[in-house]
Structures are given as structure tokens and as C-alpha cells.
Amino acid sequence: MSRIGAYILGCAGLELSREERDFFERVQPWGFILFARNVADPDQLKALTAELRGAVGRNVPIFIDQEGGRVARMGAPYWREWLPALDQVAQNKRHAVRSMYLRYRLIAEELRAVGIDGNCAPLADIANPDTHPVLRNRCYGEDVIKVAEIAGSVAQGLVDGGVLPVLKHIPGHGRAVTDSHLDLPRVKTPARELKWSDFMAFEPLNWLPLGMTAHVVFDAIDRDQCATVSPAVHEVIRTQIGFTGCLMTDDISMQALDGPLSLRARSALRAGCDLVLHCNGELEQMAEVTDVSGWLEGAALERADKALTWRREPDPIDIAALEAEFQSLMTGGSA
């Protein structure tokens, strides 16, 4: 059996360069992730996903952040556009669980059509009045029980559509008042309060196949290191929350983290992450990450292999009927 790298990587543009193809063939990433820079139209995107799989010689999972709303790498005129999740939920709270299921079942159909079979959703982060705007309207609400219920329906919509869900941002990003893309958020909330609020939202979802960490410091657990690189927070994730799936970092190149990428990747894996996620597609940075991250093995390999068993053909659906039901719910109907 060939060795598989403990990382998920991006690529630079709309098609692979010769250097990228050779690099990916050599380092054998477990998966890939795409961004808006990689997306032009359906034909191009379908060709790129085929090219990525061809480069590694296997049916590698390919992910994207297609939440809808502000975070959508695929947009008009080729793909549907959506309200921010928080706005959709607020528009019809009574039917929020069903409408969010329909939203993500339709998104899954669009992803599969272009060769993408992983989506970085659902979010189980709890919105607060002072949650940073980069995250707040992407959340599903402020009530822990309702957020968990909606997040479960989002995950099911993706699974039914043949797409792997990625639960984020474990163990909770909602209390962050700074943007972790640019700075390191610090949460001072007591551990007991976190347990019964933010962390609790993830417990009913701990069976999902994949999760993504939060680049957030929780002073009550580890005041020196953010969750991604903190063994103490990983203990919370695995024991208190009970998450059993394969755990990837949030983008290791985000400015919330400091130090060289090699140190960030090594620290994340030592803390308990199974996979290092590197998103910007810069070849030199990817080489630095892959050199230190090594190959999947042991429990991490088992969890990664188990996650892939969730991949299946989509359930047959009537797209027009689902769209009609969604529109009915969003305009006050009860269909």
C-alpha cells in the first residue's frame, strides 16, 4: 500500500502547472482544497478536479468552503447564491432545520457535478452579540440546542448528496471578537460556562467523519496555545466533546498562528490533529509543510480511512421539487 501524506493542500490557479503535478505525485496529499482562485466555470472546475486526482493516481477527496452567503467559492452565474446562514435561519425560524437541510442538499448536488466531494460545513459555532463579523452571520444562531440541531441537518444534507461534511470550528469559535485570519483570538470565558454552551453544541455531532479546529486560545484550558496546537484542548475535543472523527487544522498559514510553517504543522500534529490543512497554494510553503508532516499512520490513518467510508453515491432527488419546497419555506409556507 502506498503512503499517504498527513495533509490537505491547495493549488495556485485554474489548472495545474507541471511543477504542481510532479509535487503532488511525490508528496501524495490525503486531500485537496479549492478556493475562488481555482474556479472559473463548471467545465474548467470539473477538469481541475480530474487533474488533481490524476496527479496523485487515486480518488482523493476534494474539499471547498461552500457555505453559501459570504463564504462561497462558487457563485453566479453558474451556481446558486444564498443568504448568510444566520439570515436564512432568522427569516423562518420554525422551518430552519428543514430549510438548511434543503440548502445543503442542493449545494451538494452542485459540488458533485464538478467533482468536489467534501464541503467545510456545518458550523456549530454559537453566535454572540460581539462575535466578530467575519464569523457571526455564518453561524446558525445563539441557542446551543438549536444550533446543534441545524448543524446536524446541514451535515445530513451533504451526506445524502454524496459529499463529506467537515464540522467546524472545534471546540467553538463563536466567542472570538477578532478575526483569526489576521490575529489570534483569546477567549476568557470560564471552563464551566464553555462546557455548557460553546463546547456542548459539538457533542451531538461528535460522530461526524471530519472536523476542523479553531485557531482560538481558551484561557481556562490553555492560556499559552491556541486550540489547534494545544494538547489540553485536544483532550477536551476527544474526551469531553467525544469527537471520534478525523481532525484537520484550520488553515495553517493563517496569521492567528506564529512561527515558521514547519513548527506550526509539527505542533498541530503533536497536539492531536490528524491532518494539516494548507490552503494558499504556494509551492514553497507546501513543501515546508509536507516535509515535516510526514505520512498518515496509526490512529490518524484509521480515522482518515474511516472518514472516506462515508463517501457514497448521492440519493436520487427531484431538484425542482426541492427548490420549490425551499422557496415555499422561505416565503412563509409550510410545504
Residue 278 is among the residues annotated as catalytic for this protein:
no
Return the CATH number at 140.
Answer: 3.20.20.300
Q: Which of 143, 160, 181, 183 is catalytic?
A: 181
Q: Which residue range is the domain that position 66 belongs to?
A: 5-330
pLDDT of residue 335: 42
pLDDT value of residue 2: 80
pLDDT attached to residue 178:
79
Sequential pLDDT tens for the chain (335 residues): 589 999 999 999 999 999 999 999 999 999 999 999 999 999 999 999 999 999 999 999 999 999 999 999 999 999 999 999 999 999 999 999 999 999 999 999 999 999 999 999 999 999 999 888 888 999 999 999 999 999 999 999 999 999 999 999 999 998 988 776 767 889 999 999 999 999 999 999 999 999 999 999 999 999 999 999 999 999 999 999 999 999 999 999 987 788 999 999 999 999 999 999 999 999 999 999 999 999 999 999 999 999 999 999 999 999 999 999 999 999 975 44
| Set 65, 222, 250, 251: catalytic member | 250
What is the Cα–Cα distance from 139 to 84, expressed in whole angstroms?
8
- State the total domains in the chain: 1
Asked about 181 being catalytic, the answer comes back as yes
> Is residue 335 in some structural domain?
no
Residue 233 inside a domain? The answer is yes
Rounded to whole angstroms, the Cα distance separating 309 from 60 reads: 12
